[in-house]
Chains A and B, each alone.
Chain A
Amino acid sequence: MQAEDFDMGLEISRLTRGDTAIGGVCAFAGLVRDFGGSAASGGAMTLEHYPGMTEKALAEIEAQAQARWPLQESLIIHRYGRLEPGDNIVLVVAASAHREAAFEACHFLIDWLKTKAPFWKLEETADGAHWVEAKSSDDVAADKWSRLKGKE
């Protein structure tokens, strides 16, 4: 949880440094996409969050990933405040002995974050600011992991 930018490369190397049990690292970064019609507005967005709950929710999501996959390390960084197109929003990283756990845990982290962490995006458009609506496809993506859990 931070307003400031982050350096993906630096964060990943800091996470994995000194842990020689790690054989694979998978990272996902989310950026502010220029959603069009931005000439007048600049296409910026503001991320609101719920201080207190956000930290708890992110810690819970990370704990779930640690419980489901044999991870050496994991990391979630999420920014808030006003962001411009091209800016970093979020970074999730999963590091494990082997690639499969790293890939799956990384995918899980971002899917769960999108439906469970209390953030809201306010987009600035030429018509004024509007709140981004949640996508049902994000719920489907998160639910997929709930179903997989039952199979284990």
Chain B
Amino acid sequence: MKLIYFAWVREKAGKSNEEMPLPEGVKTVGELIDWLAGQDDKMAAAFSDPSVIRAAVNQEHVPMDHELGENDEIAFFPPVTGG
């Protein structure tokens, strides 16, 4: 799966994207956020408060209980502020 980060999530994570296999035991977007927060200090800073993280899978907004697939493009970002 491909992960993409935007805005302050990208800045805190220290990277804009990465590819990795779906971690074992991770089924949903919310579980992936918890898993990412446990990877290192930077990812912990980016993902420590899931309430301010929004997600898109394959470029569609999804809720935290959305189930993930191996070939998904998953994006994490703060609530949007365009317009």
Contact = CB atoms under 8 A, between A and B. Distances in A.
Q: Bound pair: A and B?
A: yes
Interface of A: 30, 47-50, 52-53, 56-57, 78, 89-90, 110, 113-122, 131-134
A110 B56 contact: no
Most buried by A among B56, B59, B78: B59
B59 A56 contact: yes
Nearest to A120: B7
Q: Is the interface of A mostly helix, strand, loop or mixed?
A: mixed
Interface of B: 4, 6-8, 56, 59-61, 75, 77-83
B59 A113 contact: no
Contact of A50 (B4, B78, B81): B4
B82 A121 contact: yes
A119 B80 contact: yes
Nearest to A92: B83
Given A118-B6, A120-B7, A52 B59 contact: yes
Contacts of A90: 82-83
Contacts of B4: 50
B40 to A, nearest CB: 22
A89 B60 CA distance: 23
Given A50-B6, A131-B7, 14 more contacts: A30-B83, A49-B82, A89-B82, A89-B83, A90-B83, A110-B83, A115-B79, A116-B61, A117-B80, A119-B81, A120-B82, A122-B7, A133-B79, A134-B79
